[in-house]
Amino acid sequence: AHAHPDFFVKVKYELSFAEDALTALSLDWVFDVFYSDQALNTYDLDGDGAFSADETSALQEEIFAPLADEGYFVRVASGETPEPMQLSSFTPRMEGEQLVLSFTLTPLAPLDYQDTSVAFVTHDPRAYDFSLAEGEFLTVEGDFNALCRFRVEEGTGPLDGLPQTLRLLCPE
């Protein structure tokens, strides 16, 4: 039996490219209003509707840091090879009534996307229900081959069966 997710999160991606390689994957997790209200009441200790450095540190330590063991629920594959990613930035903020966790993951080495497909997904089968944000859920910056295309599909290979996998494919 599958448990009902506790947190509903819309995901937005920004991919950074340089010299024909993917160099960073930045994400915004936009939480539902109910969870956002709980987080704001727990971590915004001065009640100003924003997160100070100390409040950000507490939120990161208690909510986000424990997700490191799960790769922050972000899976990346270059061809058939799973690619480990490392956290390089983290910032929480409120957008209206919704908590947004913005963070950037970088590969251990830039990922060549011209010769093999690169795919990525945000997925957790237990507590978080991740889905792509409506409208603009993907942006790119940097030196990117405009002939390449993104496709939303079910994952294959190391991402086998994971829904809403984004795959970057370039013409040969």
Mean pLDDT of the 37-66 span? 95
Model pTM above 0.75: yes
Task: Report the C-alpha gap between 111 and 117 in whole angstroms.
Answer: 10
Percentage of the residues of the chain whose pLDDT score is greater than 70: 97
Mean pLDDT of the 82-105 span? 97
Q: What is the DSSP string of 59-94?
A: HIIIIIGGGGGGGGGEEEEETTEE--EEEEEEEEEE
pLDDT tens-digit readout, 100-144: 999 999 999 999 998 899 999 999 988 889 999 999 999 999 999
Q: Show Cβ contacts of residue 5 under 8 Å, excluding neighbours closer than 6 positions.
A: 124, 126, 127, 128, 129
> DSSP assignment, residue 4?
P
Bridge partner list, 112: 21
Task: Report the C-alpha gap between 4 and 132 in whole angstroms.
Answer: 18
